[in-house]
Amino acid sequence: MNLEPPVEAPLKRQLSPAVVARQQASSQHAEVAITRYWLIATAIGVIGLWDWISAWNVPATLQRPWLVLYLLGSFALSQILYALVARHDGRPFFPGPAAFFAVGNGIAETLAFALVYRFGEVLGTWLVGLVAPSSAALGGFVVGIALFVVYGGLIHARFWLHVLPPHLDDSPRARAIRRFRPFAEVALVVGWSLCFWLTRDIWLVVFFHILVDIGLMLKVRPPIFGAG
């Protein structure tokens, strides 16, 4: 006769009401902050970039196979490295909120990126043109990339890391991989800036940014916009 007590199935851990309330408040705070960011970026971007927004320059980019290959390669590299270090800690995936965030952020934040780049390009072209007119256009491109990189780093460090849940693995292996991510992100910025510089194509950059945000939602699964 088996006298051992039966093994019971583990009970699903229930969160206390206080913990649930804190999580809901955190999600609501994140949603408000993200929505405010989107509205500001969209309003300013539409004003400063209307000539780019109202033009469909994707075909001009697609006519440059080397640029398309670079965009695909830099995107793949950045996403592979991100997938190796990001985690969702068991949070469920919700396609609807993921699509809403990816499209919303892909459009709004691309406007912010493009506006920062354009400001840098105008500034750099003017400054370099004062001393080396033949290099003014290239100087504008370099300064545009520099401001793009600075803004991208600041917005992720000062904003996204605070509104998204902790999502970067801190194991020794992940820390080693994370050392290479800044180079991949800069490569991504260079490709997007080339679209802005060579063809004034903002919509293909929006497309790639949406893909990047889909990857974020798949790997991080933040509890926002109904995904909580």
pLDDT in tens, the chain (228 residues): 344 444 444 433 454 555 455 666 778 999 999 999 999 999 999 999 999 999 999 999 999 999 999 999 999 999 999 999 999 999 999 999 999 999 999 999 999 999 999 999 999 999 999 999 999 999 999 999 999 999 999 999 999 999 999 899 999 999 999 999 999 999 999 999 999 999 999 999 999 999 999 999 999 999 999 876
Residue 128 domain-assigned? no
The pLDDT of residue 219: 95
CA distance linking residue 36 with residue 24, whole number of Å: 18
85, part of any domain:
yes
Q: Which residues contact 8 (CB under 8 A, 6 or more apart)?
A: none
* Among 175, 133, 137, 182, residue whose Cα is nearest residue 157: 182
> What is the per-residue pLDDT for 3?
41
64, part of any domain: no
Within a domain: residue 99?
Answer: yes
Kindly give, in sequence order, each residue whose CB lies less than 8 Å from that of residue 25, ignoring residues fewer than 6 positions away.
Answer: none
Residue 62 lies in a domain: no
Q: Which positions ≥6 away from 195 have C-beta within 8 Å?
A: 61, 67, 71, 201, 202, 204, 205
C-beta of residue 223 within 8 angstroms of C-beta of residue 93: no
Residue matched to tokens 């989107």: 38
Q: Indicate the burial class of 207 (C-beta count within 10 angstroms; 0-12, 13-18, 19 or more).
A: middle
pLDDT for 226 equals 87
The total number of structural domains in the chain stands at 1
What pLDDT was estimated at residue 27? Answer: 86
Q: Which domain holds residue 207?
A: 29-55+69-118+161-219
Q: Which two tokens stand for residue 184?
A: 């991949």
Residue 110 covered by a domain: yes
d(CA 182, CA 180): 6
Note whether residue 124 is domain-resident: no
Write the CB contacts of 146 (distance below 8 Å, at least 6 apart in sequence). 120
- For residue 92, being part of any structural domain is answered with yes
Provide the 10 A C-beta neighbour count for residue 75: 20
